[in-house]
Amino acid sequence: MENAFIFYHNDSVKVITLLRKEIKMKKLSVLLVCGSGASSGFMAANMRKAAKAKGLDIDIKARSESEIENYIDDIDALMVGPHLAYILDEVEEYKNGRDVKVILMKPEYYSTLDGAKAIDHLLEEMKK
């Protein structure tokens, strides 16, 4: 078993397999997109502050949805503004098999630009 550790406890063996994403050492790279890049730019700034406060090393950029193809090779996660849910099928085509987690941001935190809740959502989705 690749990437597995065996722990012995009370004469039973527990095997915990670590996900590749959990053990990779590089900085997590995230792209936020909205229609023009403006609201996602404000969200990205708030997410960077929240990530720093939590001691997380995350590269967060914001762009227009028209620029996804230019960045898809360089990111680990793509967070899409809730008003752009209709582009998710198109995004899957851009991915073309790449290991990029696509996350539809929730209106609850997007509308208030709550960077901390967006970071929590990102981390939750990356564990899946």
Pinpoint the alpha helices (H) of 24-81: 38-53, 68-71
CATH of the domain at 85: 3.40.50.2300
Please, what is the average pLDDT of the chain? 84
For residue 47, being part of any structural domain is answered with yes
pTM (predicted TM-score): 0.78
For residue 108, being part of any structural domain is answered with yes
For residue 38, being part of any structural domain is answered with yes
For residue 7, being part of any structural domain is answered with no
For residue 15, being part of any structural domain is answered with no
Q: Check residue 78 and report its DSSP letter.
A: E
Q: Check residue 29 and report its DSSP letter.
A: E
For residue 6, being part of any structural domain is answered with no
Across residues 78-88, what is the average pLDDT? 96
For residue 1, being part of any structural domain is answered with no
Per-residue pLDDT reduced to its tens digit, 90-110: 999 889 889 999 999 999 999
For residue 18, being part of any structural domain is answered with no
- Count how many domains the chain has: 1
Q: Is the pLDDT of residue 68 over 60?
A: yes
Quick one: 39 exposed, middle or buried, by C-beta within 10 A (0-12, 13-18, 19+)?
middle
Across residues 42-55, what is the average pLDDT? 96
Quick one: 29 exposed, middle or buried, by C-beta within 10 A (0-12, 13-18, 19+)?
middle
101: domain range?
25-126
